[in-house]
């Protein structure tokens, strides 16, 4: 061996197998002065000096070749618990598999290369697609008219509240500003109300459903003449379809108010029932869980709203319309409209995916989606029932769940461990922890959706039963979980309150 080769061998870095999954250095730690990921073309104009006052201080960027940058972020992505690589039973806001045909459709050049300022007559195909999405959602909701403009579910709530508020102002009842919301409502409901200047009045739930006596009390307390709407999620966050919905609607309508459906869990009732049939006046769709599109917060997303006929004049503009000759146009002349809530015509690429999914399923397929989602949730719940207590699930009493189930594992927590310990241990088995402490304290909310196989659900149940065994055998080990992931238990308080700069050890 030559001296040069011997020196090279002795300077080799420690080699790890992929299975050992060593800690990935920061990109700044990999930086090599002088390396570049991009070569700029030669300057073809006269060079101009930029004053130092404008330049400021140059950012301290990592210096790496393009190959190393791609490898770095690929390595990081492989460590995520992702929708495509892991079971992700988040609960309530669950995202599910996005069929690849949706992505193919959205990437077609005729859609992907549209310019938002094109004239209507040059985008007839796109307008037809949006008009058909309108029609699909109107049929599914059983309501009179749909706006596809809102950019996410919460944005749909905001838009719908503006629509309902505009309606009452128009008919001379501007004093209606109180919105009722059951205490298991999504957190976005009161947030949307606040943004619209409406006050939120909580209504108690009992056994997972709306407490009718408390609903009557709250209406009386605030005065029927001041009630704007009730916002209700059905099926709700306890995983239950509130069977009292017709009575609830009647009580709210008797108060002269509107009933708004948070459509987050529409994937449990597609083709089974329509919100318009049980008296809903207004609702939004979460297209990500119901129709397999990107999620608003990880999106872009979409949150179309559907309204009954008396609310139609107040929908946002522009509205996609069809003329008698079958051509399509954007109607911007609606005198009672609340105006625009989104640039141009909304999240077009997401709505292409929505159209693709609904078209591929058809009416029978959509019903099958809901039946499978409900079956999967009940199957998983039944496998865990003996070890994980479930306050709203009791097959012996024929009390089943809808799209998700809630467990409050009091017996396991009695061993001195916390709910976080259970959630962190799930990470070791490649399962994303579900929503915790909501809609009740010390609960896990699990939603598998219809896209998971029986094998995945069996694996999930095996993991959860193993964790239960571990808790009973050696609860003292649980606070160390996750035990085998790259990142162990993080100090969340320090991470939030004492973050460090990305390439130094100095605390901010």
Q: What is the pLDDT of residue 78?
A: 83
Average pLDDT over residues 253-264: 97
Q: What angle, rounded to 10 degrees, do the helices at 212-222 and 245-254 form?
A: 10
Take residue 440 and report the two structure tokens written for it. Answer: 């009740």
Distance of CA 413 to the CA centre of its chain: 29
359-393 pLDDT per residue, tens: 999 999 999 999 999 999 999 999 999 999 999 99
Is pLDDT at 198 greater than 80 in this prediction? yes
In the predicted model, is pLDDT for residue 213 greater than 80? yes
Q: Which tens digit of pLDDT belongs to each residue from 20-51?
A: 667 788 999 999 999 998 888 999 999 988 88
CB atoms within 10 A of CB 379: 15
Strand partners, 444: 407, 436
For residue 495, give Cα distances in angstroms to 35, 480, 485, 489.
31, 18, 18, 12
Query: Which tens digit of pLDDT belongs to each residue from 38-88?
Result: 888 999 999 988 888 888 888 889 999 999 999 999 988 888 888 888 899
The yes-or-no verdict on residue 447 having pLDDT over 80 is: yes
Q: What percent of the chain has pLDDT over 90?
A: 75
State mean pLDDT over 411-418. Answer: 97
Backbone angles phi, psi at 394, to 5 degrees: -150, 85
Look over the chain and give the mean of its residue pLDDT values, rounded to a whole number. Answer: 91
**Are the CB atoms for 137 and 357 separated by under 8 Å?**
no
- Retrieve residue 275's tokens: 């919100």
Asked if 230 and 181 touch (Cβ cutoff 8 Å), the reply is yes
Pairing of strands 319-322, 405-407: unpaired
Q: What is the mean pLDDT of residues 401-407?
A: 96
Percent with pLDDT over 70 in the chain: 93
- Where does the pLDDT of residue 498 fall: very low under 50, low under 70, confident under 90, or very high at 90 and above? confident
Q: What is the pLDDT of residue 77?
A: 86
Average pLDDT over residues 320-343: 96
* Span 224-238, average pLDDT: 96
CA separation for the pair 442, 418 (Å, rounded):
8
Strand pairing report for 405-407 and 444-446: antiparallel
Please say if the pLDDT value at position 98 is more than 90.
no
Quick check: 508 pLDDT over 80?
no
Closest C-alpha to 478, from 408, 403, 420, 397: 420
Residue 4 has pLDDT above 90, yes or no: no
- Report the 10 Å Cβ neighbour count for 58: 6
Question: pLDDT tens-digit profile of 281-330?
Answer: 999 999 999 999 888 676 688 999 999 999 999 999 999 999 999 999 99
Distance from C-alpha of 164 to C-alpha of 182, rounded to nearest angstrom: 19
Q: Would you state the pLDDT for residue 497?
A: 87
What are the beta bridge partners of residue 445?
Answer: 406, 435
CA distance 212 to 205: 8
Q: CA 411 to CA 483: how far, in whole Å?
A: 23
């Amino acid at each position: 061996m030559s001296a040069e080769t011997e020196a090279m061998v002795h300077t080799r870095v420690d080699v790890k197998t992929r299975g050992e999954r060593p800690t990935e250095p920061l990109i700044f730690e990999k930086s090599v002065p002088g390396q570049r990921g991009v070569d700029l073309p030669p300057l073809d104009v006269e060079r101009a000096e930029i004053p130092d006052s404008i330049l400021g201080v140059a950012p301290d960027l990592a210096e790496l070749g393009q190959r190393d940058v791609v490898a770095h972020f690929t390595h990081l992505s492989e460590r995520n618990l992702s929708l495509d690589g892991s079971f992700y039973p988040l609960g309530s806001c669950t995202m599910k598999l996005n069929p690849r045909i949706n992505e193919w459709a959205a990437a077609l050049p005729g859609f992907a290369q549209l310019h938002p300022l094109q004239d209507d007559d040059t985008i007839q195909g796109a307008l037809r697609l949006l008009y058909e999405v309108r029609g699909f959602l109107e049929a599914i909701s059983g309501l009179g008219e749909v706006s596809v403009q809102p950019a996410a579910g919460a944005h749909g709530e905001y838009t719908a509240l503006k629509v309902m508020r505009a309606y009452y102002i128009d008919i001379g009842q501007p004093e209606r500003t109180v919105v009722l919301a059951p205490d298991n409502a999504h957190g976005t409901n009161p947030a949307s109300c606040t943004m619209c200047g409406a006050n939120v009045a909580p209504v108690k739930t009992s056994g997972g459903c709306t407490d009718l006596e408390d609903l009557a009390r709250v209406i009386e307390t605030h005065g029927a003449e001041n009630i704007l709407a009730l916002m209700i999620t059905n099926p709700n966050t306890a995983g239950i379809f509130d069977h009292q919905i017709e009575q609830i609607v009647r009580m709210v309508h008797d108060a002269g108010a509107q009933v708004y459906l948070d459509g987050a869990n529409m994937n449990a009732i597609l083709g089974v029932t329509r919100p318009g049939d049980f008296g809903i006046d207004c609702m939004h769709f979460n297209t990500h869980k119901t129709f397999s599109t990107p999620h608003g917060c990880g999106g872009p997303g979409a949150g179309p709203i559907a309204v009954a006929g008396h609310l139609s004049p107040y929908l946002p503009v522009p509205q996609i319309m069809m003329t008698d000759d079958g051509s399509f146009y954007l109607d911007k002349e609606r005198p009672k409209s609340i105006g625009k809530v989104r640039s141009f015509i909304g999240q077009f690429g997401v709505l292409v995916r929505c159209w693709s999914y609904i078209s591929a399923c058809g009416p029978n397929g959509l019903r099958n989606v809901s039946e499978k989602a409900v079956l999967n949730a009940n199957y998983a719940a039944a496998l865990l029932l003996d070890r994980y207590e479930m306050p709203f699930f009791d097959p012996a009493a024929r009390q089943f769940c809808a799209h998700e189930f809630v467990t409050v594992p009091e017996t396991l927590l009695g061993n001195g461990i916390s709910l976080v310990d259970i959630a962190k241990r799930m990470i070791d088995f490649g399962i994303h922890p579900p929503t915790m402490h909501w809609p009740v304290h010390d609960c896990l909310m699990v939603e598998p959706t219809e896209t998971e196989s029986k094998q995945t659900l069996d694996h999930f149940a095996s993991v959860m039963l193993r964790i239960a065994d571990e808790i009973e055998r050696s609860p003292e080990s649980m606070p160390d979980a996750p035990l085998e992931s790259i990142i162990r238990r993080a100090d969340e308080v320090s991470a939030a309150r004492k973050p460090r700069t990305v390439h130094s050890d100095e605390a901010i």
